[in-house]
Structure 1
Amino acid sequence: MRFTAVDLGASSGRVMIADITPGAIELTEAHRFPNRPVRVAGTLHWDILALHQGVLDGLRKAGPAESAGIDSWAVDYGLFDAAGRLIGNPVHYRDSRTADITERIDPYEVTGLQFLPFTTVNQLLRERLDGAETLLMIPDLIGYWLTGRIGAERTNASTTGLYDVTRRDWAWDLVDRLGLPRRILPPITDAASGPVRDDVAAELGYSTVVTQVASHDTASAVVAVPAAGPHFAYISCGTWSLVGVELPEPVLTEESRLANFTNETGVDGTVRYLRNVMGLWILQECLRVWDHPDLEALLAEAGKVRVEAVIDPDDPSFLPPGDMPARIGAYCARTGQRPPEGRAQAVRCILQSLALAYGRAVDDAARLSGRPVEVVHLVGGGSRNALLCRLTAEATGLPVVAGPVEAAALGNALVQARARGLVGDLAEMRDLVRRSADVRTYEPRGREWPQ
């Protein structure tokens, strides 16, 4: 059977074709398009119309399939009025409107989320909600434009700071305490599907069904982790890195809160117990400032140099767009370290700093959850970065299995396939990935770089 996976990332969107049989899954790219934010009157927005057009173009190129599914990043949303019209372009989570928020307002024992200033609940408190009738997270928004169906898919709802991770519903008491209107939160859904609108079918040249998948891209990526047992950690590595373990229940202890770990919902009631780490955003911004040099050559050179400096990837100075090489230098100066000299040293500094952050997160996840970790699965775009994978094995002291690259799209397609009865539970889906995906294992070895 053929399925179409729409995977919207923070820097690009992809429409992938997945051909799935009981013994294999084959993924091919139908369309890829940039996701460029736009600053208007001082506010950074997502160009949601361009994203929607990219999705339509991709679906048209992909052609007819059993169904399509949509996943994207978390926390951001669009507001709609009573007539179903979008009220302005969604604001980007990197916009400065929440930069001064330093304390959480959602109780950890209810939402289970780590503190991030740009969580949905914090954005809403800086939002004018006059005339807003419905809030839709980004994948729900695109799905609404395709099908006319309104709902809040659970894995993305669990990232908002308005979701009760134990009761598995909106945290209505918190909504009321914050003075947010209940009406804007649509019903939470786990599995739904519906045909595209007639006008969408006419534009595509065919009709199809949109199947609700794990719409948070990390939730979809974790579905496609090729793990053979429960004792694994995962790193979903792209613009952001999400590092954690999969659990049956949330961990809501005070120690977990102080360690800034998050409990997000996964497929089949699982909990993605993880910490957000800034990820390859810092490297991406450096490459932009350097006018996009040859990355492979730069990584090869970075693998040969030694750098003592280590940055904290989650330092607030690295969150907004800007001159990242200068910020790395400023951070090193501020912390009494010798800044990297040249591009190769800067890249080495970034990657070893990420690997160290991954190592801390894996250790903390195992300790706080009581779940032993025997192997680390690094999936997503970062799995192509051999230097990062090798440094991560050294930092964690564990084997790192790198791949698949398009884990979110694979997980997206597999959930669609399960809705058609083609595959079964998570273990069966992961077994199919193991038999189909290209992966590479990096064994740990002693390291000669900063602790």
Structure 2
Amino acid sequence: MTEYNFLAFDIGATSGRAIVGTLSNDKFEVKEINRFPNSMVELHGRYYWNIYALYTSLLESLAICSRQKITLHSIGIDTWGVDFGYIAPDGSLLGLPRSYRDPYTEGAPEDFFKQMSREEVYKRTGIQVMPFNTLYQLFRSGTDTFVPQKNAAKILFIPDLLAYMLTGRMVCEYTIASTSQLLNPQTYSFDSDLLKSVGVSSSLMSPVIMPGTLIGRLSPSISRRTGTGEIPVIAVAGHDTASAVAAVPASTPHFAYLNSGTWSLMGIEVDTPIINKESYTNNFTNEGGVEGTIRFLKNITGMWILERCRDEWMRTGLNYSYQDMERMAEQSNFSSLINPDDPRFANPESMLKEIAAYCEETGQQAPASEAEYVHCIFYSLANRYKEVLGMLSSMSPFEIKQLHVIGGGSQNKLLNRLTANATNIPVIAGPSEATAIGNCLIQAKSAGLLTDRWDIRRLIAASFPLQTFRPQ
């Protein structure tokens, strides 16, 4: 019996994981072998990602595989979108990548639209306008004369940057590039006028490659250091949501998905971009998916709000698990709601104070206990999911018959029930490790072991437990 092991590095905005997916005939399973932190570094009022700490964690994970005698077939990396690093002409990294949470892009879209209209930018890219998009990061760095940008020879998005650090090869993967608001979704290439408008030469961007492409192999020095050998590194769907959507265990195209985590991303999978007046007005985005598909979706602030509240409680000695918080919300009769996508919840000094202030300013009762805060957040998320699904249904080329909830939030049974009731369609929850699973199975497809994304989905549906929540 032939066994194949694929290593997925799945890195989010707060932590990263190394997960081994093992495929043996028609059986597939995953095992976490390492978990490591990922946090922003604040220096002189700027916020950066410690890319060197992430690189060290990747090497540590490879060494763990070697010590555990896990023979790896290939490696894939997925991360959050929009952020990037600058590469010097000699190949060295020009400082730490800036974080999308850095407030330097506040107001940047409005300033940029003075030279190219909002409508024109959306027409060219089909991407939801968000202040931290790569387009506005480059625009603000240019107007601020940010030295790394001025001296860069190449720009690499985070998964491509980490792959470069492992292999020495520079590529630009389609799904991660599509988050930038610089890519034309019809031609799969960067818009030269947009690049020019932010003072960036087209030569700084590498040619776009599709998920499943071989980037290169681990460098000889890393192979010796970790004991793993010169393993192939595959360009999977580098944007974590794209890898997650590849793992939606759907049997027909008539589905919507909700990738529930720090961010909640709700959308559908289509073959061509949806760029029209309604999608523009509703601020929906057209991002890249596997096999050249489009993820037509909207970003919704998700568990970020709850995580920030939880952090504040932990600093006072109150350590609530997610199971604790589910029970707290169920036992509360609180009724106030917030709009999770209000910009005030992006990165406030105190999320608790911001929620209370929002309720008071909108004539609602402010939460008075931890349980009431959790109740407010869960019910507000379900209400927002209902609103976004309504918009999505009006623009979808097909009837949406079910909602697949994937990611860590799929384990939240209360929120799943609330979402089914709010949207009035069945909610199918799982798998919770969708991003890492998609990462691994894109590698398996690259190896010729699976035929297409539907073959991937059939395998996932047969390999992982799913739970259905019907509206009541």
Q: Which runs of 5+ in 1 are unaligned?
A: 446-451
Contact 1:285 1:321 in 2 (8 A): no
| Alignment match, 1:178 | 198
Quote the Cα distance in structure 2 between the aligned partners of 1:255 and 1:126: 29
| Alignment match, 1:205 | 227
Quote the Cα distance in structure 1 between the aligned partners of 2:61 and 2:194: 39
Quote the Cα distance in structure 1 between the aligned partners of 2:123 and 2:321: 47
Contact 2:108 2:139 in 1 (8 A): no
Secondary structure, counterpart of 1:274 in structure 2: strand
Quote the Cα distance in structure 2 between the aligned partners of 1:294 and 1:19: 30
Secondary structure, counterpart of 2:108 in structure 1: coil
* TM-aligned CA deviation for residue 359 of structure 1: 1.5
Contact 1:17 1:28 in 2 (8 A): yes
Match of 1:279 among 275, 292, 302: 302
Contact 1:381 1:405 in 2 (8 A): yes
* TM-aligned CA deviation for residue 354 of structure 1: 0.9
| Alignment match, 1:70 | 77
Secondary structure, counterpart of 1:159 in structure 2: helix
Quote the Cα distance in structure 2 between the aligned partners of 1:297 and 1:30: 26
Secondary structure, counterpart of 1:146 in structure 2: helix
| Alignment match, 2:174 | 154
Secondary structure, counterpart of 1:341 in structure 2: coil
Quote the Cα distance in structure 1 between the aligned partners of 2:155 and 2:197: 18
Match of 1:339 among 353, 357, 366: 366
Letter in 1 for 2:441: L
The alignment's TM-score, normalised by the length of structure 2, stands at 0.92
Match of 1:126 among 140, 149, 154: 140
Contact 2:22 2:30 in 1 (8 A): yes
* TM-aligned CA deviation for residue 192 of structure 1: 2.5
Match of 1:238 among 220, 240, 261: 261
1:265 equivalent to 2:288? Answer yes
Quote the Cα distance in structure 1 between the aligned partners of 2:150 and 2:215: 31
Secondary structure, counterpart of 1:423 in structure 2: coil
Letter in 2 for 1:12: S
| Alignment match, 1:354 | 381
Contact 1:285 1:322 in 2 (8 A): no
Q: C-alpha root-mean-square deviation of aligned residues, in Å?
A: 1.2
Bigger mean CA deviation after superposition, 145-154 or 95-104: 95-104
* TM-aligned CA deviation for residue 321 of structure 1: 5.0
Bigger mean CA deviation after superposition, 429-438 or 337-346: 337-346
Letter in 2 for 1:97: Y
Secondary structure, counterpart of 2:179 in structure 1: coil
Secondary structure, counterpart of 1:27 in structure 2: strand
Letter in 2 for 1:187: P
* TM-aligned CA deviation for residue 229 of structure 1: 0.4
Contact 1:7 1:71 in 2 (8 A): yes
Quote the Cα distance in structure 1 between the aligned partners of 2:134 and 2:76: 23
| Alignment match, 2:452 | 425
Letter in 2 for 1:278: T
Quote the Cα distance in structure 2 between the aligned partners of 1:294 and 1:131: 46
Matches within 5 A, 1:14-93: 14-63=17-66, 64-93=71-100
Letter in 2 for 1:17: V
Letter in 1 for 2:124: V
Report Cα offsets for 1:284-311 as digits up to 9, x if no partner.
Answer: 0000000032332222021121222111
Contact 1:245 1:366 in 2 (8 A): no
Secondary structure, counterpart of 2:180 in structure 1: coil
Instruction: Quickly say closer, same or farther: Cα 1:419–1:102, change in 2 above 3 A.
Output: closer
Quote the Cα distance in structure 2 between the aligned partners of 1:114 and 1:424: 32
Matches within 5 A, 1:102-121: 102-103=109-110, 107-121=121-135
* TM-aligned CA deviation for residue 62 of structure 1: 2.4
Contact 2:138 2:198 in 1 (8 A): no
Quote the Cα distance in structure 2 between the aligned partners of 1:324 and 1:5: 33
1:192 equivalent to 2:195? Answer no
Quote the Cα distance in structure 2 between the aligned partners of 1:307 and 1:257: 35
The alignment's TM-score, normalised by the length of structure 1, stands at 0.96
Letter in 1 for 2:281: L
Letter in 2 for 1:381: G
Quote the Cα distance in structure 1 between the aligned partners of 2:297 and 2:398: 12
Contact 2:82 2:132 in 1 (8 A): yes
Letter in 1 for 2:133: T
Matches within 5 A, 1:387-402: 387-402=414-429
* TM-aligned CA deviation for residue 37 of structure 1: 1.1
| Alignment match, 2:349 | 322
